[in-house]
Amino acid sequence: MTEHHIKLPEGSIEKSTTTLNLGPTHPATHGVFQNILELDGERIVSAEQTVGYIHRAFEKLAERRPLYQITTLTDRLNYCSSPINNMGWHLTCEKLLGVRTPKRVDYLRVIIMELARISDHLICNSVVGVDSGAFTGFLYVMQYRELIYEIYEEICGSRLTTNIGRIGGFERDFTQAAFLKLEKFLKEYPQVLREFENLFSRNRIFMERTIGAGPISAERALNYGFTGPNLRAAGVDYDVRVHNPYSSYEDFEFSIPVGRTGDCYDRFLVRNQEMWQSLKIIEQAYRKIQEFKGAEAGVFHADAPSYYLPEKKDVYTKMEALIWHFKIVMGETDIPAGEVYNSVEGGNGELGFYLISDGGRTPYRLHFRRPCFIYYQAYSELTKGSMLSDAIIVMSSLNLIAGEMDA
Amino acid sequence: MALTNETIKSKLLEKFGESLSNFEEPYGLLSFEAPAGMNLKVMQFLYDDPELRFQFLTDLCAVHYPGQAGRELAVVYHLHNLTDNIRLRFKVFTSTQQPDIFTATQLYASANWMERETYDFFGVNFVGHPNLIRILNVEEMDYFPLRKEFPLEDQTRIDKDDAMFGRGGSIN
C-alpha cells in the first residue's frame, strides 16, 4: 500500500496528484473511518477505504455467550437504532426456538422499532445538513431524539445501548408515562419534521450541494448489495418489512418511498419520507394497542417459560424462579440444533442474523449481515471524479456507522 | 406463477444432476450443498437463468467444522431473488489444507469485502479475487481468528493483574 502511494507516475519527474488521509479521526467523518484520497486539485481520482479500527470480534465473542448475553452485543452494532438490532436478535432466537409472540407484543415492538428508525434517520439527515453547512436543523431535532430516548428509558431503563426486550416480549409492560411521552411525540413531532423539511428540501444551497452528489444507478446499487434507504433512493422498492414481514408488519398500512437518481438529495428525501411513514405506523400501532380489552390489554410477553426470564419480584422471593433465571441467563435450557437466517429492516438496511446452533449453550456460529459494511465498498465508485467536499457529504448521507461496520 | 422451492430444486437438479446434494428446507429456506469447484458455476446459473434470477447476494460467510477431515471449512452464500422475493442458501465445503474457492466478485461487486472478511477470519483463499487482503484485522496477523482452534481467553484465569486494567487491586 505504502509503495503504491509514493510511486511516481511513468515518465514524470514529480507526482501530480496529492494524497490526503481523510480520517481515521477526522471530525467530519462522524466515526472511525479512514479514506486515503488521491486528489487532483480538488477532484478525487481514487479513494481507498480502511475499516476495522473498532473491530471488537463480536462473532467470536458470541460463540461463548448464551442467547441473552448476545443482546448486549447487538446494541453496539448500529448504535443509532439499537432497539431494532435487539428486536432483530430476539426475533432470530424466537424463530430458532419456535416461540410465537402475541399480537400486542408485536405491536409494542413495532412502536419501538419505528421510533428507533425515526431517531436513526433524524441523525443521519440532520448530519447531512451539518456537513453542508447548516447546523440549525441538527440542534433543533436533537430535542426530539431526546424525547425518543426518554421513551426508551421508560421502557427499559437505558438510552443508547438499550438491551430492550426479551425473547418472547418485553421485560415489563409499557408504563403510563411511556404512553404519555409517546402521545406527546406523536402530537409534536409532525410539526418539527415539517419545519425541518422546510429548512432543507427546497433550500437552494442545500440542493446545489446534494443534487448529483454521489449518485448510483439501481443496477449498480443492487450489485453492490445496497439495502435500506440507500437502495430505495436509487429506485428499488425493496423493504424487508414488506417483503418478509416480521413482528406483524403485514397488519399496517404504509408505503415505501423511492427515489430515482440515488444521489445525496434523493437519499435525504427518502429518509424524510420514511420518517412520515414511520409516524403513520406508530399511530396505527398505538390505536391497535388501545383496542385490546380485558386480559389481552396487559399482555407483554409470550408464554415461553423456558426462555422468557421470570419476573424480578419472583426471582428475589421464590427459589424456583431464581433457579430458572440463572438457567436461562447461563443458557442451560434446551436449545434446538438448527440454522436460521433472519433479517429485519434496520436503520440503514437489511440487518441479518445467521445463527447456527448445535444444541449447545451458545451459538456454534453467529454471523451478522451488517448493511453498511456491505455498501461502504461502493464509496470509491460513488466519489470518483467528484469534489473533496462531496466526499464528506456522500459519507454522511450513506449513514455509515462505524460500530456496525466493524462489528 | 410464483417461484417455489420445488421449482428451483428441479431446475438445479436438471442442470447439475447428482453433484448437488443435501437439499433441505430448514425454516422454509431452500438450502443445499455444492462441490467446492462448482460454486461459481452454480451461482452463474442461478444469476443468469431467466426464471431463477438470484441476482442479489445477501450474505457470504464461512463456518469452521474442525471435526470433518478434508471439509473443515464451509462457505455459505445467501442469495435473494428480489423479483419473486425468494431466498436460498447454499454451501461449499473445502479443507483447511487447501482452502481454494472461486471468487464471486465478477458476479456481485458486494462479494469483494465479504470475501475479504471471510479470508481474514477463516483463511479461505478466494481464487481470482482482485484484492484479497485482510480487512478488519491488522495486516501483520498470521492466523485466522474465527477458526475453532483459537479459544477465547479463559474467563477464570487469575494470572492477570487487574490494577493494570483500571479495576483496582490485584489478586495477591
What residues does each domain of chain B span? 5-145
Pairwise CA distance, residues B44 & A150, whole Å: 50
Average pLDDT over residues B96-120: 94
Q: Are residues A43 and A74 in the same domain?
A: no
Helix (H) or strand (E) holding A233: helix A228-233
Q: Are residues A19 and A163 in the same domain?
A: no
Question: Whose CA is closest to A197, among A278, A272, A250, A247?
Answer: A272
Residue B126 contacts A where some CB pair is shorter than 8 Å: no
- Given a contact cutoff of 8 angstroms between Cβ atoms, the answer to whether B92 and B71 are in contact is no
Pairwise CA distance, residues A209 & A303, whole Å: 53
Q: Are residues A28 and A147 in the same domain?
A: no
**What is the domain-level CATH number for residue A237?**
1.10.645.10
The set of residues, in sequence order, having a beta carbon less than 8 Å from that of B160 and lying 6+ positions away, is none
Helix intervals (H) in chain B: 5-16, 39-48, 111-122
Q: Are residues A14 and A70 in the same domain?
A: no
Pairwise CA distance, residues A51 & A144, whole Å: 31
Q: Are residues A111 and A229 in the same domain?
A: yes
pLDDT (tens place) for every residue of chain A, 407 residues total? 555 566 666 776 666 788 998 878 877 777 788 889 999 989 999 999 999 999 999 999 999 999 999 999 999 999 999 999 999 999 999 999 999 999 999 999 999 999 999 999 999 999 999 988 888 889 989 999 999 999 999 999 999 999 999 999 999 999 999 999 999 999 999 999 999 999 999 999 999 999 999 999 999 999 999 999 999 999 999 999 999 999 999 999 999 999 999 999 999 999 999 999 999 999 999 999 999 998 889 999 999 888 999 988 999 999 999 999 999 988 888 899 999 999 999 999 999 999 999 998 999 999 999 999 999 999 999 999 999 989 889 999 999 998 899 88
**Contact list, A406 vs chain B (CB under 8 Å):** 136
Rounded to a whole number of angstroms, the distance from the CA of B30 to the nearest CA of chain A is: 11
Q: Are residues A371 and A255 in the same domain?
A: yes
Q: Beta-strand (E) ranges in A111-267? A: none
When CB atoms are compared, the residue of B27, B108, B137 closest to A225 is B108
Asked if the Cβ–Cβ distance from B59 to A352 is below 8 Å, we say yes
Four-CA torsion A101, A104, A106, A108, nearest 10 degrees: -140
Structural domains of chain A, count:
2
Closest residue in B to A342 (Cα) is: B27
Pairwise CA distance, residues A375 & A378, whole Å: 6
Asked if the Cβ–Cβ distance from B136 to A55 is below 8 Å, we say yes
What local confidence, expressed as pLDDT, does residue A23 receive? 78
User: Domain range for residue A389?
Assistant: 58-406
Residue A345 forms beta bridges with which residues?
Answer: A350
Fold (topology level) of B5-145: Beta Polymerase; domain 2 (3.30.460)
- What is the Cα A25 distance to its own chain's centre? 22
Rounded to a whole number of angstroms, the distance from the CA of A57 to the nearest CA of chain B is: 9
Q: Are residues A310 and A229 in the same domain?
A: yes
Mean pLDDT of all residues belonging to chain B: 89
Question: Whose CA is closest to A42, among A67, A23, A17, A74?
Answer: A17
Q: Are residues A44 and A67 in the same domain?
A: no
Q: Are residues A8 and A100 in the same domain?
A: no
What local confidence, expressed as pLDDT, does residue B158 receive? 73
Split at pLDDT 50, 70, 90, the class of B112 is: very high
What local confidence, expressed as pLDDT, does residue B80 receive? 95
- Residue A113 gets the label, from left (phi > 0), alpha (psi -120 to 50) or beta, of alpha
